[in-house]
Chain A
Amino acid sequence: MRRVLLSFVALFGALLAPHSARAADMKAELQKPTELTFWTWVPNIEKEVKAFEQAYPNIKVKLVNVGQGAAHYQKLRTVLKSGQGAPDVAQIEFQYIPSFVITKSLLDLSPYLPLERFKKSYPDWIASQVVSDNHIWAVPQDSGPMGMVYRKDLLEQAGISVPKTWKEFADAARAYHQKNPDSYLTNIPPNDPGHWVGLLWQAGSRPFGQASKDTLKINLGDPAAKKAVAFWEQLIKEGVVSVDPGWTDAWFQGLASGKYASWLTAAWGPVFLQGTAKKTAGMWACAPLPQWDGGKSISGNWGGSTDAVLATTKHKVAATELARWINQEKEPALMFANEQFLFPVNNATLTDPAFVEQEAPFYGGQKVNKLFVEISNTVPKDFQWSPIQDFIFSIGPDIFGQALSKQGDLGAALDAWNDAVVKYATQQGFKTTK
């Protein structure tokens, strides 16, 4: 009887164990010699990882770059499916988090990270993309609030003022192309669904979502989207906006040589201009995206990554701490922002003067971080991604992209894209709704 009572008391006591006991357990875990594997394609991330290894001398991190974007996800999904060879921590962009949650591939971090404090550390629209049902699926790393990065000198030469609304943009595009027949105000790539969706996000379109465990919301042709694509279709048909494929050699050369006078891109855009377009440093400036409604200030988001812990990891505590430390601690977070030009997601960094007041030489000394912080606050937070996002993004260029490069009917292309996605979702056992 006494033994039963004692064990009951012990159990009761264990359940009521204060948070500090759990924290002490975790601290002990982090002192054990561990080797973690980290798959990421962020350039120069060795710096932040080295700082982590200095903070935790018994943890060694093996950094592997298995490719950028689609190549990385193909390998990740394949090793997860095979059950062997998966890393402990992996970089996963916001839009693909639901697709990894649905296959139960991610470790829920809420036992290790206090939920309320976590949610408060980030702007609402960031937190809502990694937290669902009180589960924390990943630690946000950077985001991609969209702005208009433009060549000050080219616009001045053509006598064009920076457009504030899309109507002004259309007029500016026509005027610019007339003065510079070999150059375009901007380029809409036929192979970059992330870019299109960011613009649709700004226009008020909400094409994706998960209504319930087995019901997906798929509505790629909603009125806001149709309005936006009709706008672009007009400019493309007039030939004042180009539709060259992005991320190709020719496209980088185009940015470097002034073929495109502006790039409707995310805050991380300049990372890619440091290479080929290096010689144009200082000639760029940044402004908010032109608005649909002159009075308002709305943006969209393109990309942005998180670091997630995979459910197959054998070192749950250490992996969680790696993901958390490099993205939340002040020193590495500031490094990401200032040295790698990743746009920060932590409220702490977003309000840190060391970040906000920076004058960027690439933008001719403009306080571009301050501008993007303001833009970041105008990104609507009700945008959702789909658990079949990788299919959506891989079939997009085949259907919608083809229509772009052929200067065709973009409204019909949106509908065709929608149909293909619904067909795939149904095949995979989902029900769909608009």
Chain B
Amino acid sequence: MSTGSTAIGGARRRDSQRRQRRHQTLAGVLFILPALALFVLLLVGPLLYALYLSFFSQRLIGDNLFVGLDNYLYALQDAEFGQGLLRMLLFLVVQVPIMLGLALVFALLLDSGRLWLARLIRLGVFIPYAVPSVVAALMWGFLYGKDFGLLGQLGRTFGIAMPRFLGSELILASIGNVVTWTYAGYNMVILYSALQTVPSELYEAAGIDGAGPIRLALSIKLPLLRPALLLCTIFSVIGSFQLFNEPSILRAAAPDAISSSYTPNLYIYRLAFQDQRLNYAAALSFLLGLVVFVLSYVVTGAARRRLT
């Protein structure tokens, strides 16, 4: 009879365990539900609607036609879009290493504990990120101005010829400068936080082996920072291809250098809200998203291979 009672007791215990698990699962779902609802409503829903739009074509003369993949095929040979993409690729290849390099240097310097006024410097490097990008672009538009901008006036005072920052040759570099100034601090904070997780035993061990601060940085901190650097790189890749704010605001100060299709996002914005070609804009947005996805995958893959 004891086996029977243990069996029944066991079954009751299993039942109550199952009920507890169900309660926990239900509680979990209810906690996520609000966020999930917002996610579906505000992200997935519009994405699906845009996808739907991208398969149609509504013209000024004529009806709303289903055109299948026509918009995408047209996009593949759209010179304006292609030029924008190449421009962003160039931007990415030059600006991201410079910015991440600066962020890395600052993070390592701060972490080395040898920096005077470390807190002030940390704040100072981060503050540009706190400045709204519209304000930043307006400010830089003024700084860059040829005749009445601050840099131009300084140049004239010291007799140095200032380059035309807002001219079409240098505008990409000027935008890159604004983006670096804005986001170096943000990346620095990510890298600095990652450095805080390095176990101090490693430093002690390296110290015993006679490693100086630079050796410490190169052989211990840098390798352990790889995941954080990868994260920053992916954010930067996505950010570069989605560049919109800075060229959009600077356009007012340099309308001859920044065309309405200077970056893919500017082009999509113009197509949607100026030309009222919503279907084509939707198709381009998906195509851009695909490009960013593929590139992020490539970057991650390449980095992972080097890690192993």
Main secondary structure of the interface of B (DSSP, over half): loop
For residue A406, which residues in chain B have a CB less than 8 angstroms away from its CB? 168
Q: What CA separation (Å) do A429 and B252 show in the bound complex?
A: 32
Among B227-274, those with CB < 8 Å from A are 252-257, 259-261, 270, 273-274
A66 interface hit (Cβ, 8 Å): no
Which residue from chain A places its CB closest to the CB of B59 in the assembled complex?
A: A429
For residue B26, which residues in chain A have a CB less than 8 angstroms away from its CB? none
Whether A249 pairs with B60 at a CB distance below 8 angstroms is no
Whether B254 pairs with A245 at a CB distance below 8 angstroms is yes
For residue A427, which residues in chain B have a CB less than 8 angstroms away from its CB? 59
A153 interface hit (Cβ, 8 Å): no
What is the CB-to-nearest-CB distance from B61 to chain A, in angstroms, rounded to a whole number?
Answer: 3
Among B24-61, those with CB < 8 Å from A are 59-61
B201 interface hit (Cβ, 8 Å): no
For residue A388, which residues in chain B have a CB less than 8 angstroms away from its CB? 60
B276 interface hit (Cβ, 8 Å): yes
Whether A428 pairs with B255 at a CB distance below 8 angstroms is no
Among B144-168, those with CB < 8 Å from A are 145-149, 168
Whether A214 pairs with B252 at a CB distance below 8 angstroms is no
Task: Tally the A-B contacts, defined by beta carbons under 8 Å.
Answer: 80
Main secondary structure of the interface of A (DSSP, over half): helix
Task: For chain B, give the interface size range.
Answer: 20 to 34
Q: A245-B254, A394-B270 known; A429 and B60 CB under 8 Å?
A: yes
What is the CB-to-nearest-CB distance from B139 to chain A, in angstroms, rounded to a whole number?
Answer: 12
B209 interface hit (Cβ, 8 Å): no
For residue B61, which residues in chain A have a CB less than 8 angstroms away from its CB? 213-214, 428-430
Q: From A35-43, A230-238, A279-287, A396-404, give the one contacting chain B.
A: A396-404
What is the CB-to-nearest-CB distance from A47 to chain B, in angstroms, rounded to a whole number?
Answer: 29
Contact of A253 among B59, B147, B254, B270 (CB under 8 A): B147
Whether A259 pairs with B254 at a CB distance below 8 angstroms is no
For residue B142, which residues in chain A have a CB less than 8 angstroms away from its CB? 249
Whether A249 pairs with B145 at a CB distance below 8 angstroms is yes
Among B267-305, those with CB < 8 Å from A are 270, 273-276, 278
Q: A70-B274, A249-B142 known; A405 and B148 CB under 8 Å?
A: no
Q: Which 5 A-B pairs have the closest CB atoms?
A: A429-B61, A191-B255, A405-B256, A429-B62, A429-B59
Contact of A394 among B60, B274, B278 (CB under 8 A): B274
Q: What CA separation (Å) do A102 and B276 show in the bound complex?
A: 13
For residue A401, which residues in chain B have a CB less than 8 angstroms away from its CB? 255-256
Whether B60 pairs with A402 at a CB distance below 8 angstroms is no
Contact of A391 among B254, B255, B256, B274 (CB under 8 A): B274
* Interface pairs (27), CB distance under 8 Å: A74-B273, A77-B273, A81-B276, A214-B61, A243-B256, A245-B253, A245-B254, A245-B256, A248-B253, A250-B145, A250-B148, A250-B253, A253-B148, A254-B147, A391-B275, A394-B260, A397-B255, A397-B256, A398-B259, A398-B260, A402-B259, A404-B256, A428-B59, A428-B61, A429-B62, A430-B60, A430-B61
Q: What CA separation (Å) do A81 and B95 show in the bound complex?
A: 39
For residue A249, which residues in chain B have a CB less than 8 angstroms away from its CB? 141-142, 145, 148, 253
Q: What CA separation (Å) do A254 and B146 show in the bound complex?
A: 11
Which residue from chain B places its CB closest to the CB of A74 in the assembled complex?
A: B273
A388, A390, A391, most chain B CB atoms within 10 A:
A391
What is the CB-to-nearest-CB distance from B138 to chain A, in angstroms, rounded to a whole number?
Answer: 10
Q: What CA separation (Å) do A363 and B1 show in the bound complex?
A: 115
Contact of A78 among B148, B260, B273, B275 (CB under 8 A): B273
For residue A191, which residues in chain B have a CB less than 8 angstroms away from its CB? 255-256
What is the CB-to-nearest-CB distance from B272 to chain A, in angstroms, rounded to a whole number?
Answer: 9
B59, B60, B275, most chain A CB atoms within 10 A:
B60
Whether B60 pairs with A428 at a CB distance below 8 angstroms is yes
Q: What CA separation (Å) do A191 and B61 show in the bound complex?
A: 29
What is the CB-to-nearest-CB distance from B45 to chain A, in angstroms, rounded to a whole number?
Answer: 16
